Amino acid sequence: MTVKILGTGCKKCQTLEAKVREVVQQNNINAEVEKVTDLSAIMSYGIMMTPGLVIDEKVKSYGIIPKDDQILSWLRGE
């Protein structure tokens, strides 16, 4: 599973990245977490608010920091 955090480096983006990594680690989820900072790459997902959370190439959220249990259920494919 690939997880991407889209963001140019604002505070919210860093918070989300740290959060996702923590959730992945704590729940032993086999996922590769990657931070995407390139603008055109970010735009290719069609979002207009950062941070974006992309799981297996699907945009799950943008512009917000989702709650932990929400992230976890997305990671589990629920």
In the complex, the residues that contact another protein under the rule CB under 8 A are: 8, 10-13, 39-40, 42-50, 59, 61-63
Nearer to another protein, 32 or 57 (CB): 57
Nearer to another protein, 20 or 51 (CB): 51
Among the options 3, 5, 13, 31, which is catalytic?
13
Dihedral of CA 13/17/20/22: which sign?
negative
Among the options 1, 10, 41, 43, which is catalytic?
10
